[in-house]
Amino acid sequence: MSDSAVATSASPVAAPPAPVEKKVAAKKATGSAATKAKKPTAPPSHPPTQQMVDASIKNLKERGGSSLLAIKKYITATYKCDAQKLAPFIKKYLKSAVVNGKLIQTKGKGASGSFKLSASAKKDPKPKVASVDKRSKARR
């Protein structure tokens, strides 16, 4: 008798979890449908992170280089955007710009420390006006 009592008590316990799983699956389906129906987001009101970081380092004009915190403060004050949300993008740009040679890291490692613009990044590409003058002189 004890075997039959155990079997009957086990079967009612096993039956209820099945409806619970169906409810969870139904909730997941409605959640994914809600994410698909999102409205398109507007483009950001600030320039790309690369331009903001370069401008902040250039305008801060610190002799030893600008720190990550100083760059974030400048971006927040100038562009009226949340630097905390942009922090991963700022860090990623700083690391990649140091590797590419656009920035020089004066102190620290990774995204921490101080950063300066390299000599090649400071020079702005100027249009070649001299070549137009030479052509006009040659024609005369």
106 Cβ contact partners less than 8 Å away, ≥ 6 residues apart: 64, 65, 113, 114, 115, 116
Mind listing the pLDDT tens digit for each residue in 78-136?
888 888 888 899 999 999 999 998 988 899 888 888 999 888 766 655 555 555 555 55
Q: At what angle do helices 68-79 and 83-100 cross, to 10 degrees?
A: 130
| Residue ranges per structural domain of the chain | 49-122
Instruction: Decide the pairing of beta strands 103-107 and 66-67.
Output: unpaired
Helix (H, G, I), strand (E, B) or coil at 81: coil
Mind listing the pLDDT tens digit for each residue in 17-75?
555 555 555 555 555 555 566 777 877 677 888 888 988 999 988 899 999 899 999 99
101 Cβ contact partners less than 8 Å away, ≥ 6 residues apart: 118, 120
Closest CA to 48 of 4, 97, 6, 5: 97
**CATH annotation of 49-122:** 1.10.10.10
